[in-house]
Structure 1
Amino acid sequence: MFVESVVRWGAWSLLLQYGLGVAAGGCPSRCVCRLEAKEVICSGKHLNSVPESFSSDAKRLDLSYNKLKTVGRRQFFGMQQLQELDLSDNLISMIEVEAFQGLQNLRTLRLKNNRLKIIPVGVFSGLSSLRFLDLSQNEILVFLDYTFKEMVNLQTLEAGENDLVFISQRAFFGLQNLQELNLDRSNLSSIPTEALSQLQGLTRLRMLHLTISTLPNNAFRKLHRLHSLLIKNWPLLDYLASNSLIGLNLTSLVISNCNLSAVPYAALRHLVYLRFLDLSYNPITVIQGSLLGDLLRLQELHLAGGSLLRIEPGAFRGLAYFRMLNVTSNHLTTLEESAFHSVGNLQVLRLDGNPLACDCRLLWVVRRRLRLNFDGYQPTCASPDAVRQREFRDFSEKELPRLFTCRPARILDRRPQEARVEEGTTVLFSCKADGDPFPSITWISSHKNVVSPTGRIRVLPNGTLEVRFAQVQDSGTYQCLAGNAAGNDSLTVGLYVKGVPRNRTIPFFSEEGWTEPSNPPAANTSAQMAKPYPFDAKTLIIATTMGFLSFLSSVAICFVFMFFWSQSKGQIKHTATIDFVPRSSMGGGGGDGADGGRFTMKLI
């Protein structure tokens, strides 16, 4: 019995000493102290000020979700072992200079969701070991020069959801090891290029929900280590300068939910290391052929939720590592196999949400439906009626040749077209074709060049070739090529232009007067002139005569005006008498006439 009492008394003594030790170790009231983890948890305790007497060996201090308004100078000076400090979700509007002095081992500092408007220089003094700093969801207006100058080991800076309007050029001075910077939801109106150029170790930059309208040239200069750039929800961004991304070695680029109406090919051509590209939710209508070939390492392209109408053949030519295409929720009716460098490398394809026309152009996709990964979203046919609303996985191999068909392109009018015209005439050659899908029309000139929709020799929207103001060198054969996925058809026409003598008048017709004559060989002719000016000899003579008469009339009017003006001045004296004294000769001699002289001058 005695022994049992002694044991109980010793146990209670030990517990009492342990409790006193905890109290002496510095656990403030209303806080929870975890000695093994060396944590002090004061979160959500309605504290109005920072408690005192913290344990000097604590490694984590949580003061979040309180009512703290200020952080005083050297507020945590005795906590040399502290590694994580959380001051989030308070009412802090002021932090004094050297507030964190003495926390030389601090790795993480959270100041999220407070009321900070400005951070004085020196606030972060002494935080040479800090790795993570969260300043998001405050009211900060500006980052001043040298704000972070002593944080040489900082790796991540969260500065989003502030009222930032300006970042000083040297605000990020000293952050040579910063790897990740987030500048979301601020009031910046332009890229802070000079400030960002201080972050030469930056690898990831995120900027969401900004009102910047353009990326200028050299916007991210000196950021040679930047691998990931995330630009999202910039509703005003509609232009990227051709050298805006120059100097970057990006592997991932996201420019989504912006206002780009075309793929920024010129800006992208510098990104030879790019593997991931996301241009989703932009009003882009077409991916042109052979313009992404500089992105040799590109593996994934996302262009979901846009306005895509077509992906041209050769759009991904040269992209040997291309394995994923996401074009869901666009306006595509088809995707031809010729768009890819090699469909054998394609692994993931998102075509759902498009009005797909299930014909021979999509046969290559349906035949790979078991090998391709549709990411859980099966493409669905929108036309023709026989297959409407059917998913690709529903088709059997037997019915594919019967349902996924096309009708080859065929030129409708194959009658010979030959025009023999004089220099200066306008010629029209017709080329109408039919097919399913509807064929495209291409004209090849007599010099073996593709004719464009603009210029003196051009292709009209209906496929007609127009040669305006025909010249001798335009003579030759022109070829019309009508083609679709099922086949091609061609038609050759001839144009022979006869030069006219230089002294012969060449008629000139205005564009409103161009008409199509009824004679078949000349049915394609209109008017143009060979000389560099559209005037004939008669016009020049009339113009010269009118100008000469105008000149004579002006001179006559001037003379009449001068006559009446002189008459109105009264009597005018027309002579003047002048007395003069001649200069004496060099020899000193003189004569009778040397004393003077007089003569009369008549004024005209």
Structure 2
Amino acid sequence: MEVNSFFTPIWLIVLASFAVASTTGATGNVFTYPKESLACKEYDGIILDCSYRKLTGVPTFNSNYTKTLDLNYNSLKTITDRPFRNLLSLRYLYLADNQISVINNDAFYGLSQLESLYLQNNVNYLHIIGAPFEQTPSLVQLDLSNNRIHDLSSTTFNGLWNLQTLDLSHNLIQTMPGGIFNHLQHLRLLDLSENFMKIIPSHAIASLHSLRTFDMNWSLITLPYFGQEFSTLHNLTEIMFAVSNDSVPTILTEDTFRHLGDTQLKHLVFVFPWNAVIDKEIFNPLKYISDLEITGTADSILALQSLNTELENLTLDDLSLTTINATTFIPMWNLKSLKILGKRYKLEQSLQRIEDASFQWFPSLKELSLKGNQLEYIDMNAFAGLNQLDKLDLSENSLATLPVAALTQIF
């Protein structure tokens, strides 16, 4: 942890004849910790740094002033009942990168003022007993990512009325019990990316009326359908979502996004499987979309015709698109940024040729990135009409020479 140089280090009093040692801070706070571990450091009377201290258990703390406690990078295995009961003013608690496998029901007793709790990267199949977060009603941010969490109960997040950010990414979650998020009335960001859920847990998020960002990227989704429950999430503005690749082609119908039509969705990141069959009307319900990122299949370009709104930013990634010409795109008069990125694994399917007037439909374009493709040919009139362009990225391609003739169209 980085701290300002004017912080005053604590005075250390080591009682070598006892099984534990005590440290008294400059403010008079007393901290008791195992003899075999290193003493914690106190800064300015409000920050207590116990990271990298070889701790196997939570030390005993007695402090009315500590606002931040850092226990990152130790060897904690269990958060027992009430270890923080004397830290009544604590606002920030860091428990990341330990070996925590159990959090008891009363683990956070006394932390009624806690605002941020970081529990990520405890990779020992974390098990949460009861409803430990009921003791932290002021919590705004909770990070439980990368903990190999397999199961959550309907009461796990009870009492978190003020929570705004919940990160459950990089776990082993397969299902979400109904009612699990009922108390999260102010949640704005929910990250469920990189889990093992095959369907979108529409029933679980129905109560999240303040939700703005929903991330389910790379969660092995095989049934890409946003249920009726999404129609009540009127504040939803951003979704990140990926459909799992499968030997059987995934059929994405015009109903895929039907219940998102009543939301304020503006930013959609959608990863299609390589063999997806995409209905050309799939984007029709998205009335407010302005920022679209698509990965996976060139067929998705045809579906852009169903948009009822004017895009401002479009990213096409890994699409098996080898040639662009004047008929590839539909007019997008307000498009400001276009990124066509190459395939990472099958380079021969990356973009190789740009024909005459390929970007004529984008008169407002300011940024064009063709990075990471296999471009060999650019027509001298390829960039005709891009009078507003400020940035052109042709890096990481196979061009033998700079296409000077084409560049004179824009510079």
| TM-score after normalising by structure 2 | 0.79
Residue 121 (1) aligns with residue 134 (2): no
Residue 347 (1) aligns with residue 366 (2): yes
CA distance in 2 between counterparts of 1:75 and 1:182 reads 29
Paired residue type of 2:364: N
Give CA-to-partner distance per residue, 1:552-599, whole Å, 9 cap, x none. Answer: xxxxxxxxxxxxxxxxxxxxxxxxxxxxxxxxxxxxxxxxxxxxxxxx
CA distance in 1 between counterparts of 2:337 and 2:243 reads 23
> Is the Cα contact below 8 Å between 1:83 and 1:106 reproduced in 2?
yes
Q: Who is 2:294 aligned against?
A: 279
Q: Label 1:101 to 1:351 Cα distance change in 2 as closer, same or farther (>3 A).
A: closer
Please list, as runs of the form range in 1=range in 2, the aligned pairs for 1:493-504 lying within 5 A after superposition. none
How big is the shift at 1:39? 1.2
> Is the Cα contact below 8 Å between 1:300 and 1:324 reproduced in 2?
yes
How big is the shift at 1:316? 4.9
Give CA-to-partner distance per residue, 1:526-563, whole Å, 9 cap, x none. Answer: xxxxxxxxxxxxxxxxxxxxxxxxxxxxxxxxxxxxxx
How big is the shift at 1:45? 1.3
CA distance in 2 between counterparts of 1:374 and 1:121 reads 54
Q: Who is 1:319 aligned against?
A: 332
One of 163, 170, 178 as aligned partner of 2:172 = 163
Paired residue type of 1:179: R
One of 321, 338, 348 as aligned partner of 1:308 = 321
Give CA-to-partner distance per residue, 1:465-494, whole Å, 9 cap, x none. Answer: xxxxxxxxxxxxxxxxxxxxxxxxxxxxxx
How big is the shift at 1:252? 1.1
Q: Label 1:49 to 1:372 Cα distance change in 2 as closer, same or farther (>3 A).
A: closer
CA distance in 1 between counterparts of 2:152 and 2:60 reads 31
One of 215, 239, 263 as aligned partner of 1:206 = 215
Q: Label 1:264 to 1:27 Cα distance change in 2 as closer, same or farther (>3 A).
A: farther
CA distance in 1 between counterparts of 2:151 and 2:405 reads 59
How big is the shift at 1:113? 2.1
How big is the shift at 1:177? 0.7
Please list, as runs of the form range in 1=range in 2, the aligned pairs for 1:315-394 lying within 5 A after superposition. 316-317=329-330, 319-329=332-342, 330-331=350-351, 333-335=353-355, 337=357, 340-341=360-361, 343-351=362-370, 353-355=373-375, 358-359=378-379, 363-365=381-383, 371=389, 373-375=391-393, 377=395, 389-393=400-404
Q: Who is 2:310 aligned against?
A: 297
Q: Who is 1:480 aligned against?
A: none
One of 181, 188, 199 as aligned partner of 1:172 = 181
> Is the Cα contact below 8 Å between 1:290 and 1:315 reproduced in 2?
no
How big is the shift at 1:334? 3.5
Residue 94 (1) aligns with residue 102 (2): yes
Paired residue type of 2:363: G
Q: Give the secondary-structure state (helix, strand or coil) at the position aligned to 1:211.
A: strand
How big is the shift at 1:139? 2.4
Give CA-to-partner distance per residue, 1:94-122, whole Å, 9 cap, x none. Answer: 22212212211101111222234432332
Residue 235 (1) aligns with residue 249 (2): no
Q: Label 1:78 to 1:155 Cα distance change in 2 as closer, same or farther (>3 A).
A: same
Paired residue type of 1:228: E
Q: Who is 1:55 aligned against?
A: 63
Q: Who is 2:19 aligned against?
A: none
Larger RCO (alpha carbons 8 Å, 6+ apart) = 2
Q: Equivalent pairs: percent with the same residue?
A: 25
Structure 2 residue runs of 5 or longer lacking an equivalent are 1-11, 14-22, 343-349
How big is the shift at 1:288? 3.2
> Is the Cα contact below 8 Å between 2:72 and 2:96 reproduced in 1?
yes
Structure 1 residue runs of 5 or longer lacking an equivalent are 1-14, 382-388, 401-604
CA distance in 1 between counterparts of 2:275 and 2:269 reads 13
RMSD: 3.4
How big is the shift at 1:203? 0.9
Count of residues in correspondence between the two structures:
371
Q: Give the secondary-structure state (helix, strand or coil) at the position aligned to 1:365.
A: coil
One of 125, 139, 144 as aligned partner of 2:153 = 144
> Is the Cα contact below 8 Å between 2:80 and 2:103 reproduced in 1?
yes
Q: Who is 1:535 aligned against?
A: none
CA distance in 1 between counterparts of 2:384 and 2:325 reads 20
Paired residue type of 1:238: T
Q: Who is 2:77 aligned against?
A: 69
1 or 2, which has the higher helix percentage?
1
Paired residue type of 2:58: V
Q: Label 1:336 to 1:208 Cα distance change in 2 as closer, same or farther (>3 A).
A: same
Paired residue type of 2:68: R
Q: Who is 2:29 aligned against?
A: 25
> Is the Cα contact below 8 Å between 2:93 and 2:116 reproduced in 1?
yes
